[in-house]
Amino acid sequence: MKKTLNFKNKMMKKILFVVVVFGTMMLSLNTFAQKQYKFGHIDSNQLLSIMPEREKAKTDLEAHAKQLEQTLTGMQSELERKYQDYVTSADSLSKLIRQTKEAELNEMQQRMQTFQQNAQQELSQKENELLQPIIQKARTAIKEVADERGYIYVFDSGTGVLLHWSEESEDLMPFVKVKLGIK
């Protein structure tokens, strides 16, 4: 009988141990399951396109581009005029004057090409200069919304580079629009 009690005691201890271990595991899993990691997404290109500051930047950039284009058009007109003058009088010019005018035309064409390249670079720099504060404002608003709403990751669905996409991913566009005062 002592053996039976001893056996029952050992068996009860083993069962109790298994129950405690299983209970601890379930509690740990439950705690882990309760810790939800929130993922969100936003189309940053769409956000930037609806920000009021974007329209002013676009207008400023277009004005700058128009100014550069007018200068280039003036250079082209002058080159065309001088070329026409050269063509109409080429037969009556001495070899030295003809060579001088050809060199002048080549130099003007080279200056025009250089201006065009520099204008493209300047326009690109101007665009970056105008957009950088807008992009920074959008990033700050996205970060603030993500922090306020407990998101650990926010993916940019506008770039096409998504590490993970799920139906449970929440679009933050409405919240960021509110944060920026956009309707």
**Could you tell me whether strands 38-42 and 170-171 are parallel, antiparallel, or unpaired per DSSP bridges?**
parallel
Q: Say if residue 1 is in the same domain as residue 90.
A: no
Same domain, 136 and 171: yes
Q: Does 30 share its domain with 41?
A: no
Structure token digits, residue 105: 């035309």
In which domain, by residue range, is 101 found?
Answer: 36-180
pLDDT tens-digit readout, 122-173: 999 999 999 999 999 998 998 888 888 888 788 888 776 543 444 566 788 8
Measured between alpha carbons, how far is 175 from 142 in angstroms, rounded to an integer?
9
| Amino acid in position 169 | S
Note whether 70 and 123 are same-domain residues.
Answer: yes
DSSP-based three-state secondary structure for 91: helix
Of the candidates 157, 159, 183, which has an alpha carbon nearest to the alpha carbon of residue 170?
157
Do 18 and 42 lie in a common domain?
no
Instruction: For residues 81 and 3, state if they share a domain.
Output: no
Q: What is the CATH number of the domain that holds 153?
A: 3.30.910.20
Could you tell me the two tokens for 115? 């201006």
Contacts of 49 (CB under 8 A, 6+ apart): none
Per-residue pLDDT of 50-88, as tens digits, reads 999 999 999 999 999 999 999 999 999 999 999 999 999
* Residue with more model confidence, 32 or 53: 53
Distance (Å, whole) CA 143 – CA 110: 48
Give dist(CA 26, CA 34) in Å, integer. 12
What does the buried/exposed string (b/e) look like for 91-100 if buried means 16 or more CB atoms within 10 Å of the residue's CB?
Answer: eeeeeeeeee
- The count of domains in the chain is 2
Q: Do 69 and 29 share a domain, yes or no?
A: no
10 and 70 housed in the same domain? no
pLDDT digits (tens, 9 = 90+) for 80-125: 999 999 999 988 999 999 999 999 999 999 999 999 999 999 999 9
Q: Are residues 27 and 59 in the same domain?
A: no
- Whether 166 and 136 share a structural domain: yes
Helical segments of the chain, H only: 2-34, 44-50, 52-89, 95-149, 173-180
Beta bridge mates, 155? 41
Let me know whether 139 and 155 are in one domain.
yes
Statement to judge: residues 59 and 125 lie in one domain: yes
